[in-house]
Amino acid sequence: MNLLITGAWPDAKKHIPEIEAMGHTVTFMQHERDQLPCDGDWVEGVIGSGLFLFHPIVQFPNLRFIQLTSAGFDRVDMDYVREHSIEIHNARGVYSIPMAEYAVSGVLQLYKQARYFYENQTAHLWKKHRSLPELCGKTVTVVGCGNVGTECAKRFKAFGCQVIGLNRSVKENEAFHTILPLEKLDEILPKTDVLLLTVALKRETSHLMDRRRLGLLPDTAVVVNVSRGAVLDECALCEMLQAGRLAGAVLDVFETEPLPEDSPLWDTPNMIATPHNSYVGEGNGERLWNVIRRNIGAG
C-alpha cells in the first residue's frame, strides 16, 4: 500500500523502516498544512490527524485506508468515507489512561482546595481549611462510555464513587455501576456530583450540556470536559460558576483553541483550564504504534 504518513504521529520516522519491511511504500510529510510531497492519486493510505482539513479528501481518489492519530473522527468527512468504503481507524485506547488520570486529578484539586494551599504556601501562611469534601460516596456521571469514559469510570469507582454511564448504546461494562441510554441524561443530572464529558462530538452532541441542562445540576457539582469544547456551552458554564451555581469545572478542551487571552474562562472562580493537554502520557507512543501496526497489517 502507498502510505502518506504525517508528523502528527510523533514517532513516525522511527517506525517507517518497520512499515516498509511489511511491504508498504511510504512518503512522509512533517506538517499537514504544507504542500503534498506526492500526487494525491498516488496515495492509498494515510496515517495522520488533520490532513483533510488542509487537503480535501477528494484529492485522494485511490484512498482506501485511514489511520488517525487522534481519538475523534470530527476532522474527517465521514459521509465521504462511508460512500467510498474507505477503511478508517482512530487511535482507540491510546490516550484513555492519561486522560482518565487527568480527570481524577482535576476533581481532586478542586475538592482538596489545591490552589488555596498553594497560594498560602507561596505566602508562607500556615492556615487550615475546615471544609474539604470527600470523593468517596459521590455520584459520578460519565457521558460517553467508550475507552476514555471506561478508564475514567475505573478510577472513580476505585475511590468509592457511584459511577453512572450514559451512552447512545447501552451495553454491559463492569467499570460502571450502571449504563443508561443518553435520553436519561436530564433525569440523572440532579443526582450528579461530578459530571464527566467524554462523548464524541457529533451533530446531536453539539452543546449537549447547554444552559438548561447545566441548570439541572446541583450547586455542589463539578463539570469536567475532556471530549470536545463544543459539547459544552462555555458561556453558560462561565456565568454559572461566577454566580456560585456550580462548585467548579475542569476544562481541557474549548470551542476556540487556543483559548483567547481575553476569554473570561481564564479568570473564572473554581476553574481549572488546561491547553488540550490531558491526553499526554509516557505510554502513548508504544500504544499508538501497537494500534497502527495492527491496523496496517490487517489493512
List C-alpha distances in Å: 182 to 97, 112, 189, 195. 24, 31, 11, 13
Q: Number of H helices and number of E strands within the chain? A: 10, 12
Burial class (CB within 10 angstroms; exposed 0-12, middle 13-18, buried 19+) of 189:
buried
Catalytic residue check, 203: no
Active-site residue (options: 276, 287, 293, 294) = 276
Closest residue by Cα to residue 285 from 10, 53, 23: 10
* Non-local CB neighbours of 70 within 8 Å, separated by 6+ positions: 8, 49, 50, 90, 91
Catalytic, out of 228, 245, 287, 294: 228
Give the position of cell 474562562: 265
216 close to 245: Cβ distance less than 8 angstroms: no
276 is catalytic: yes
Catalytic residue IDs: 228, 276
